[in-house]
Structure 1
Amino acid sequence: MSKTVKKTTEELPKYVRRLAGGTYEARKMIHGRTIRVSGKNLTEVMLEFEFKIKCMDNPYLEGVRITLDEWFDKWFTTYKEPCICRNSIYPMRNKYKSTFGKKIGDMYLADIRNIHIQKTLKELSDEGKAPSTLREALGRVRECLESAKNNRYI
């Protein structure tokens, strides 16, 4: 006995399918890179999917929606970790997270201005952080933001 598949009246856009549990998935391969977005709300899935397609051509757009913490993790793993000794990884990450990460880490890259860096340095100094700690953390953030600029995120 064959099963009959119940068809829905919902017409889905191209590259979108409905998964079990009511989740939608939009997926497409562009230039050898897969773009995949899923979620419960079809409108939100489509908006995010279209945004990610636009980001393929213009990485600056992605910088509008990537936080300093997210970029720091990506940058540190890609650029810094391969060049430093394993024993230095944890202290460097920890110094960032305990300074700039806790203050402005949740800000989007595109929104960070010099004034935010200066205010953070002042706050950290007022909290009693050592000048050497601030210099080291600032150097790390400077490298990170310079790389974001070179990658056209900002």
Structure 2
Amino acid sequence: MAKLPNGVTQRKDGLYVGRFQYQGIRYNVTDQDMKKCADKLEKMKYEIKNGIYCKESVVTVNSWFRTWIDEYKKPTVKENTIDTYEIIYKKHIKKPLGSRKIKEVRPEMIQRLYNSMKKHDLSKSTIQTTGTILHSMFQQAYKNEMIQKNPVSMATIPKMKNKKESRVMTLEEQKLFMEYAKDSEIADICELFLSTGLRSGELRGLDWETDIDFKNKVIHVTGTLCHSGETGWRKDEPKTRTSKRDIPMLGNVERLLKRVRRQQMEKKLYMGDKWQPVKGFENLVFLEESGLPMYQSSLKTKVDKIQRAIIKDGHVFEWITPHTFRHTFATRCIENGIPPQVLKGILGHSTLSMTMDLYAHVLPDTKAKELQKIANLF
């Protein structure tokens, strides 16, 4: 007969029981298999001694979310992902489910949440992220044997309408916007957007010392500027492995950056003590008037101001966001014959299919033109 592990005994009915005591409280686990029982016991000891064990009969969704975030997610995902999870949980999960005990949550409650989010016209990505959070939370609770089943697995995200095509400025709209932006504080930012296809966080996070290489005429994309109330400013690792990339510095971009550099140095001298950058972010290419990093919301506000001026003057101009510049850049590249594989590298897409999705809405406009090449053969 195999020797029983420390702390494990076997009852007359064959069931194995693991027991131990910690700070005056007794704990036990059971299993039909001796090794599994011993593994459960060691796992429970670890969780209790490290403060991550929750007695399933009392733990709420709110308290488990906190444990799940702090102990299981923070060590494994980027801070930006943690920020997203915190926001989604607070806005969409906390009120309907937070006060419930995790053992009480049933599939229909999850389904009701999904359906309500769809009814309120929330985006497909928001609902999917909500589902990702819930599934991972409850799956970990299941692994910890706090619940018998994962209720999220038995709910279904509602069928959503096809995602609306990304807004892209026509060449005429692009010229109109840049005409109105030329005297604004973000004129250089907008030109750089339209000349590189950078994401907003990538552009706002550009650093003179690490990212701007005038000698080799290259922009090194090394990360994304992020901000949260909990951690403040930080520069995250690139979104994906392929997001870390080098972009050739066009002539207009080189002239723009040298002008921005000169103006920034002059402003810094002029401002004196009023120039108050954030430590570690003193060398960002684009800073606010006082030397602070630029918030995403601040950039959007400045873009919105230009659009309002355009519309006020009677022009028809569909609303854009800072991300529109990236799609517009990609569209200009496609229209001018840049191959998909090359564009994939410039944009930092992780897969070619992401790049081809951009081609999908541009190619219909050029089908007749391209087919004419065949017609010329006859």
TM-score category (smaller protein):
0.5 to 0.7
Distance in 2, Cα, partners of 1:105 & 1:130: 22
Q: State the partner residue of 1:69.
A: 62
1:76 offset after TM fit, Å? 1.2
* Structure with the larger RCO, 1 or 2 (CA within 8 Å, 6+ apart): 1
1:99-138 counterparts in 2 under 5 A? 99-138=92-131
User: 2:58 aligns to what SS in structure 1?
Assistant: coil
Q: State the partner residue of 1:97.
A: 90
Instruction: Tell me, yes or no, if structure 1 residue 143 matches structure 2 residue 132.
Output: no
Any unmatched runs of 5+ in structure 1? 1-29, 36-52
Q: State the partner residue of 1:57.
A: 28
Q: Deviations over 1:36-74 (max 9, x none)?
A: xxxxxxxxxxxxxxxxx46x3258x92121111110110
Number of equivalenced pairs? 106
Q: State the partner residue of 1:34.
A: 23
Could you state the TM-score of these two structures normalised by the residue count of structure 1? 0.61
Distance in 1, Cα, partners of 2:112 & 2:79: 32
Could you state the TM-score of these two structures normalised by the residue count of structure 2? 0.26
Q: Amino acid of the residue matched to residue 141 of structure 1?
A: L
Distance in 2, Cα, partners of 1:152 & 1:95: 26
Higher helix residue share: 1
1:109 offset after TM fit, Å? 0.6
Any unmatched runs of 5+ in structure 2? 1-19, 30-43, 45-53, 148-378
Q: State the partner residue of 1:7.
A: none
1:104 offset after TM fit, Å? 0.7
Moved over 2 A (4+): 56-59
1:34 offset after TM fit, Å? 2.9
Pair 86,65 (structure 1): closer, same or farther in 2 beyond 3 Å = same
Q: Amino acid of the residue matched to residue 28 of structure 2?
A: D
